[in-house]
Amino acid sequence: MRGNSVRRDLCVLALIKGNERYVYVYDDPGRGGLIDAFRDDAADPQLTLSWLDVAALTAKVREQSRTAADEPPAESRA
Query: Domain coordinates of the chain in residue numbers?
Result: 29-70
User: What's the longest Cα–Cα distance across the chain?
Assistant: 47
- Percent of the chain with pLDDT strictly greater than 90: 54
Average confidence (pLDDT) over 8-35: 90
Instruction: Decide: pTM greater than 0.85.
Output: no
R_g (Cα) of the chain, nearest Å: 15
How does pLDDT run across 46-74, given as a tens digit for each residue?
Answer: 999 999 999 999 999 999 888 877 766 65
Chain centroid, CA 71 distance in Å? 17
Q: Are 61 and 14 in contact (CB under 8 A)?
A: no
Taking alpha carbons only, the member of 78, 55, 67, 57 closest to residue 9 is: 67
Mean pLDDT of the chain: 85
